[in-house]
């Protein structure tokens, strides 16, 4: 992790290990809530390296001191993170394009439209993109060409 990041946060754990059973589908919209207060209840995870879909992982951090964060004005997230708050980060110093995928448990058929809300910061022209995957027979995931509407 970048040294400047560690000045503001202390690593708690990585989110590489699956925190949920892959065979358990999302039944209620609240199943997708994840504020990181109890990471084991979060129904999201890093995509496993073996599928070759991304090049980075997300890591869980907790703000442990009173240093202002974020130090740079980045958006669209809140202008202040308070001591004790937890968040996930991804990134590195490589110049080539990188991808990090944070995957939810399988969402079953819906009878109406859904609404996902994220609080995030981006910098260095990073982009947040919502994509849809389906399970591949025999394991792994296939990215679907459909793109959900994103208003950010």
- β-partners of residue 145 are none
Q: What are phi and psi of 102, to 5 degrees?
A: -110, 115
The helix or strand, by DSSP H or E, that contains position 1, with its residue range, turns out to be: none
Q: What ranges do the domains of the chain cover?
A: 1-152
Question: What DSSP string describes 38-96?
Answer: SGGG--EEEPPGGG-S-SB--EEEEE-SSS-SSSS--EES-S---TT-EEEE---S-SS
Placement of tokens 């990215």 in the chain: 143
At a CB cut-off of 8 Å and minimum separation 6, what does 23 contact?
Answer: none
Q: Give residue-wise pLDDT tens across range 58-96.
A: 888 887 877 766 555 555 666 677 788 888 888 777 778
Contact between 71 and 29 under an 8 Å Cβ cutoff? The reply is no
Cα dist from 54 to 11, 16, 117, whole Å: 22, 13, 22
Residue 53, both tokens:
């879909």
User: What is the C-alpha separation between 71 and 91, in angstroms, rounded?
Assistant: 16
Mean pLDDT estimate for the chain: 72
Which pLDDT does position 75 carry in this prediction?
58
Q: Give residue-wise pLDDT tens across range 14-42.
A: 444 345 555 678 888 888 888 788 877 88
Which pLDDT does position 58 carry in this prediction?
85
Which pLDDT does position 96 carry in this prediction?
80
């Amino acid at each position: 992790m970048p040294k400047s990041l560690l000045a503001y946060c202390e690593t708690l754990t990585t989110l590489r290990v699956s925190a949920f059973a892959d065979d358990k589908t999302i039944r209620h919209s609240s199943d997708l809530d994840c504020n990181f207060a109890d990471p084991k209840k979060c129904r999201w995870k890093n995509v496993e390296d073996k599928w070759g879909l991304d090049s980075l992982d997300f890591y869980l951090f907790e703000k442990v001191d009173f240093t202002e964060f974020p130090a740079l004005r980045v958006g669209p997230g809140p202008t202040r993170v308070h001591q004790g708050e937890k968040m996930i980060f991804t990134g590195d110093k490589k110049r080539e394009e990188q991808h990090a995928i944070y995957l939810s448990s399988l969402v079953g058929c819906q009878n109406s439209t859904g609404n996902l809300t994220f609080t995030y910061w981006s910098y260095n022209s990073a982009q947040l993109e919502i994509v849809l995957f389906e399970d591949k027979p025999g394991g792994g995931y296939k990215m679907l060409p459909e793109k959900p509407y994103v208003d950010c």
